Structure 1
Amino acid sequence: MSTIAAFYGGKSILITGATGFMGKVLMEKLFRTSPDLKVIYILVRPKADQTPQQRVFQILNSKLFEKVKEVCPDVHEKIRAISADLNQSDFAISKEDTQELLSCTNIVFHCAATVCFDDHLRHAVQLNVAATQQLLLMASQMPKLEAFIHISTAYSNCNLKHIDEVIYPCPVEPKKIIDSME
């Protein structure tokens, strides 16, 4: 067993943006390489024509998850879809689900974002800035949390000719951006 698989063994992981490209690939990689992980919680926005569970079923039955089913045949039992909407300030998560996430989560992968670059500014700020801030506040209440990984949107430093792997100072305080949207 690799050290990575050993690290994820028995862990409870929360993934936002799991129905998007990066989230699906991340979920597949985690299940395929770490079949002993305990559970992956995914926040799924309900859609008019599909429940969160139906959306997960569709994802797990895609070609991407064929190898996962060989390595981890009980993958359906290790994924827990939680109805949530990061466009709402409280994420519209039930109290029971919130309590479970707070008490059980070991690792958070925050992949949710809008990558629609002509999106309304209010929507983009809510999803890309305010939801991230709110998720960080939620994570601060997770006693078993070991890691919080934020996967940022593409082109986040598009004004630079060369982008290094460093944390760049924010030209505007996120709170000012959020306040201006409110």
Structure 2
Amino acid sequence: MESKLALEKEELKHQLDVAQIIASGGSDVERFYAGSNVFLTGGSGFVGKHLIEKLFRCCNVNKVYLLLRSKKGKSVQQRIDQILKDPVFESLHKCKSDFKMNIIPIEGEMGEKELGIKDADRNIIIEQVNIIFHAAAVVNFNENVKTATLINVRGIREIVRLAKCCKQLRQVLTY
């Protein structure tokens, strides 16, 4: 129990150190991402959730356009609401409670042509997005091979095609 408390204290100290760096505005990373509009795939997964939290807590991004599909009878907005209940967002809810207003759902599907994104949403991405993070993938080894290939191979091809159309793009990152 004492080691757990020690770890918690160490983590809190680390968070305070990070908060001081952010407050100073001295981080090159923070300056790069500040005010950016980000398009993110895989935001419902482990890496994606942590990325969303970090972008809003440390980098002061403007908006995150989050590619999601309806799943198990839930709309994309209901899925975002569920994602934001994850414990990783607890401190962000406390210090920047309005961040969730800047998460914009984009309904689509990684395995479809043009990511299954409607034309209006695609135009928003093309006109406004500065940074693309592609973190979506099938990682279930029991998945149907055709489905996994469409998502993992076609998906990245469609991300690259979309990126080539973006008028204000500064960076594309894949995980």
TM-score per shorter chain, which class? 0.7 to 0.9
Does residue 144 of structure 2 align to residue 120 of structure 1? yes
Does residue 164 of structure 2 align to residue 140 of structure 1? yes
Please tell me the residue identity of whatever aligns with 2:173: I
Structure 1 gaps, min length 5: 152-182
Partner of 2:33: 8
> What do the CA deviations read for 1:111-164 (whole angstroms, capped 9, x no partner)?
00000123221111111111101110110000100000010xxxxxxxxxxxxx
Partner of 2:102: 78
How far apart in 2 are the matches of 1:41 and 1:135?
14
Find 2:51's aligned residue among 26, 33, 39. Answer: 26
Contact 2:33 2:61 in 1 (8 A): yes
SS at match of 1:124: helix
Structure 2 gaps, min length 5: 1-24
Stretches (4+) displaced over 3 A: none
Q: Percent identity of the aligned residues?
A: 31
Please tell me the residue identity of whatever aligns with 2:40: I
* Length-normalised TM-score, structure 2: 0.82
How far apart in 2 are the matches of 1:116 and 1:48?
18
Q: By how many angstroms is 1:61 displaced? A: 2.2
Please tell me the residue identity of whatever aligns with 2:54: K
Does residue 107 of structure 2 align to residue 107 of structure 1? no
- The 5-angstrom pairing of residues 36-75 of structure 1 reads 36-75=60-99
How far apart in 1 are the matches of 2:33 and 2:68?
22
C-alpha RMSD of the superposition: 1.2
How far apart in 1 are the matches of 2:146 and 2:94?
43
Contact 2:114 2:162 in 1 (8 A): no
Find 1:89's aligned residue among 108, 113, 116. Answer: 113
SS at match of 1:74: helix
How far apart in 2 are the matches of 1:28 and 1:18?
10
More helix by share: 2
Q: By how many angstroms is 1:96 displaced? A: 0.6
Please tell me the residue identity of whatever aligns with 1:20: G
Q: Choose 104-113 or 21-30, whichever is displaced more.
A: 21-30
> What do the CA deviations read for 1:28-67 (whole angstroms, capped 9, x no partner)?
1111112x31100100111142110011111112211011
How far apart in 1 are the matches of 2:120 and 2:80?
20
Partner of 1:154: none
